Amino acid sequence: MIQGGKTVSKNRMEAYLFCVNCEKDTPHEIEYKEDRISKITCHTCRITVEINQEFVNKHFKEEFAKRVLSKPIRMTEEMEADLSGFLKSLPTRVLSKPYRVYKEYTDKSKQ
């Protein structure tokens, strides 16, 4: 059962996310191992994305990977703290985030 992006067990969380296979927002289960996302499964089409932590750590800087993988938790906390402000800022953030992530990654890769 989806509980509005709430944790349903210590190692699992359920949330509505955009599914690239279904091409719409659908309920997903997010599984964690050692406080990091390990797997995301769409409840509608059952497509699963597994996160290989070794690959992530090898190809990305540690703090960058931690921030990306902890984003669902931070967004949930932000929504709970100020839903109105979160919803107002969301369209701009969604449009600008891919560029900001790319810029940060390329800047850090040059270091």
The pLDDT of residue 3 is 44
The pLDDT of residue 51 is 84
Distances from the Cα of 20 to the Cαs of 48, 49, 61, 86, 104, in angstroms?
11, 11, 26, 24, 24
Taking the domains of the chain in order of start, what are their residue ranges?
1-51, 60-111
Contact status, residue 28 vs residue 13, Cβ threshold 8 Å: no
pLDDT in tens, 27-36: 999 998 887 8
How far does Cα 91 stand from its chain's mean position?
16
Contact status, residue 13 vs residue 5, Cβ threshold 8 Å: yes
The pLDDT tens digits along the chain (111 residues) read 344 555 555 688 999 999 989 999 999 999 988 878 889 999 999 999 988 877 777 776 677 777 778 888 888 898 899 999 988 888 888 788 777 877 776 776 665
What pTM was estimated for this model as a whole? 0.49
Distances from the Cα of 22 to the Cαs of 6, 44, 67, 94, in angstroms?
22, 8, 27, 19
Contact status, residue 28 vs residue 40, Cβ threshold 8 Å: yes
